[in-house]
Amino acid sequence: MDQIYARLSVSVSELKKNPTALINKADGQPIAMLNHNKPIAYIVPAELYEKMMDAIENDELVALAKLRLSEKSKAIRVDLDDL
């Protein structure tokens, strides 16, 4: 069986009945949507999704900064007054 990364899980048919009630029941936590007892999607509140996107963007920026630091030998020295 696949691992489920949510405290609350629902079938597609349960979700169709009253999605708002399920979202309220989840109290800000993700909901795993199951099909034949396997997760097919996760429903996350907008606030949590925005935090996840911020975290991903921050990780990408850190990776880019580390890459640029590793290429420091290729850098060209510039004086701010010359710009």
Predicted local distance difference test score (pLDDT) of residue 1: 67
Under 8 Å between Cβ of 5 and 30: yes
pLDDT at position 72, please? 86
pLDDT tens per residue, the chain (83 residues)? 689 999 999 999 999 999 999 999 999 999 999 999 999 999 999 999 999 999 999 999 999 999 999 998 888 888 999 88
Interstrand relation of 38-43 and 31-35 (parallel, antiparallel or unpaired): antiparallel
Closest CA to 48 of 23, 28, 22: 28
Q: What is the pLDDT of residues 20-37, one digit of tens each?
A: 999 999 999 999 999 999
Cα–Cα distance, 30 to 46 (Å, whole number): 10
Task: Parse the chain into domains and list their residue ranges.
Answer: 8-71
62: left (phi over 0), alpha (psi -120 to 50) or beta: alpha
8-71 CATH fold: YefM-like fold (3.40.1620)
